[in-house]
Amino acid sequence: MFDVVERDGKKVVSAGYPAVERLIDTEDFTEINEAFGKAYEELEEIARKKRGLKKGRDAKKAARAIENVMALFKELLEIKYKIQEMVGEASSKGKKRQ
């Protein structure tokens, strides 16, 4: 399930999704926000035109998928912050005991 990989000269645990891990590590969502924003606008336009009922429905589903991916990124960031907070608390407790 998890792999140990070398990143920046250090061994780290990886879930096997390097692109997603890089996004969460760097928190640089500029490129993906631009791409998703453009795609979302195009999908909304397709859904509004309603030329073909199936095409409009498919566009709405794709737009919803983009929303779900962005929500997952937010959730992953929240988990990252909670882990960092827990690590910080654990290290400060360890320092107090010494």
> Which pLDDT value is given to residue 14?
81
Find the domain containing 86 and state its range: 30-97
Assess if residue 12 is contained within a domain. no
Q: What angle do CA 6, 7, 9 make, to 5 degrees?
A: 80
Cα dihedral: 59, 62, 67, 73 (round 10): -160
Q: What total number of domains does the chain contain?
A: 1
Assess if residue 82 is contained within a domain. yes
Assess if residue 68 is contained within a domain. yes
Three-state DSSP at 3 gives strand
Assess if residue 18 is contained within a domain. no
Which pair of structure tokens corresponds to residue 95? Answer: 């320092």
Q: In a structure prediction context, what are the per-residue pLDDT tens digits for the chain, which is 98 residues long?
A: 678 878 778 887 788 888 888 899 899 999 999 999 999 999 988 888 867 678 888 999 999 999 999 999 999 999 999 999 999 888 887 776 65
Model pTM score:
0.73
Assess if residue 41 is contained within a domain. yes
Assess if residue 92 is contained within a domain. yes
Assess if residue 6 is contained within a domain. no
Assess if residue 80 is contained within a domain. yes
